[in-house]
Amino acid sequence: MQSFELYLPVRLVYGSDSVEKLGAAAAPYGRKALVVYGGGSVKRTGLLDRVKKALAAFEIVEFAGIEPNPRVSSVNAAAKTAREEKVDFVVAVGGGSVMDAAKAICAGAKYDGDAWDLVKDSSLIKDALPLFTVLTNAATGSEYDAAGVITNWETNEKQAISSPLLFPKASFCDPAVSTSLPAWHTAAGAADIMSHTFEQYLVKEGNDVSDGFCETILKTVIKNAPICIKDPENVEARAAMMLASSFGCCGLLAIGNTPSPWPCHAIEHEISAWHDITHGVGLAIITPHWMRYSLTPETAPRFARYAVNVWGMDPKEDPMTLANAAIDKTAEFFASIGIPARLSDVGVDDSHFEAMADHIPTCWWPLSGALRPLDREGVLAILRASL
């Protein structure tokens, strides 16, 4: 087992009455809140009204319009509002994009300059406003981690901002809130949760505890995502997905494992930076191709474990046969929940592939640490196979 540290200082509040607990949790942090949300789903569903009611004792300033793949321009505008209005804390009401933007807003409000500086160099984050999140979908796990992913359209970069100062103080998760999520984003969220798990599970060395966590998360998504798509109002299935999301990205799944450089995320962020595609959809398209690239006689036993423990295949088969069958199953699953199979299906062409491959080493962990080490040619091979 590898050495590790796990630090999860977020109060995770689940349940149908969770949103109503926001006011009491925020009370020690001040009297004025910046409530940040996206394109309007939280207005349509009534969640924003619930949040405002929970914050009835506070002064509220609203900032609407955070985009999927949130832009640094929105972050800068909201951080300016937070400074001018002298808010005491920020409440993100939304999915990964709103929560991620809110993290950058919390840091940006305490920084005298362009928030992009903080994305490029998170060591510049010396202070941040306290953050609370009200989660609306099962996908990124941003409600339970200290990272956000921000896009800069001027430079075609999509990069993480990360600091222990950006952990939410508390996240409020009512699974029923996610019943309004459309099928496309339900499927994308499922793929994102699975990808977070693969990134930590399909590594050189795991252990019985972390492998068991990963297998449970994968089986949970494989069982419940199709239910959520067929029966969007099924709160039990939505709850299982939301829990899987919260624990997918917080580091728990990787305890004691060989550290992973998250290769599929490295590649997907580059694609989104140029083409603004849905994160989970990009991951679902790339993942089977990354798996095929990574499958060698040395790595086959890892995939075989996945085949047996997640897909219930016969352990007596040889590892290579099992591995190939599990990769096929993975691709079939993504297709079954309505995700297209090719990058060209979502408007991506190969015109920026070289730039993407060149950019990864400037902003990401070395992909030489992946299950099968990935160099520039390897990244290009996966991109071309995914096209």
> Using CB under 5 A as the criterion, which residues of the chain lie in contact with Zn ion when the complex forms?
192
Q: Does 130 bind ligand NZQ (CB under 6 A)?
A: no
Q: Of the candidates 87, 134, 177, 244, which one interacts with ligand NZQ according to CB under 6 A?
A: 177
From CA 374, how far away is CA 144, in angstroms rounded? Answer: 29
**178 alpha carbon, distance to own chain's centre:** 16
If the CB atoms of residues 100 and 192 are measured against Zn ion, the closer one turns out to be 192
If the CB atoms of residues 66 and 382 are measured against ligand NZQ, the closer one turns out to be 66
Question: Which DSSP state fits 316?
Answer: T
Q: Which of 96, 180, 86 is nearest to 133 (CA)?
A: 96
Count other C-beta atoms under 10 Å from residue 351's C-beta. 9
Give the 3-state secondary structure of residue 278: coil
What secondary structure, in 3-state letters, does 55-98 show? CCCCEEEEECCCCCCCEHHHHHHHHHHHHHHCCCEEEEEECHHH
In Å, how far are 44, 111, 159, 216 from 85, measured between CA atoms?
26, 15, 28, 45
Q: Does 147 bind ligand NZQ (CB under 6 A)?
A: yes
Span near ligand NZQ by CB under 6 A; candidates 181-189, 330-338, 342-350, 368-376: 181-189
Q: Does 265 bind ligand NZQ (CB under 6 A)?
A: yes
* Minimum distance from residue 17 beta carbon to ligand NZQ (Å): 18
Residue with tokens 């499927």: 187
* Minimum distance from residue 307 beta carbon to ligand NZQ (Å): 25
Span near ligand NZQ by CB under 6 A; candidates 18-26, 137-145, 314-322, 367-375: 137-145
From CA 132, how far away is CA 154, in angstroms rounded? Answer: 29
From CA 13, how far away is CA 172, in angstroms rounded? Answer: 5
Q: Of the candidates 18, 35, 50, 69, which one interacts with ligand NZQ according to CB under 6 A?
A: 69
From CA 165, how far away is CA 7, in angstroms rounded? Answer: 12
Q: Does 139 bind ligand NZQ (CB under 6 A)?
A: yes
Q: Of the candidates 2, 180, 216, 324, which one interacts with ligand NZQ according to CB under 6 A?
A: 180
Q: Say which entry of Zn ion, ligand NZQ, none residue 287 contacts (CB below 5 to 8 A, set by partner kind).
A: none
Q: Does 234 bind ligand NZQ (CB under 6 A)?
A: no
* Minimum distance from residue 109 beta carbon to Zn ion (Å): 26
Q: Of the candidates 140, 224, 246, 294, which one interacts with ligand NZQ according to CB under 6 A?
A: 140
If the CB atoms of residues 45 and 324 are measured against ligand NZQ, the closer one turns out to be 45
Q: What is the dihedral of CA 14, 15, 16, 17, to 10 degrees?
A: -70
Q: Of the candidates 18, 74, 97, 309, which one interacts with ligand NZQ according to CB under 6 A?
A: 97
Judged by the rule CB under 6 A, the positions of this chain that interact with ligand NZQ are 38-42, 45, 68-69, 94-98, 100, 136-137, 139-142, 145, 147-149, 177-178, 180-181, 185, 188-189, 192, 249, 265, 279-280
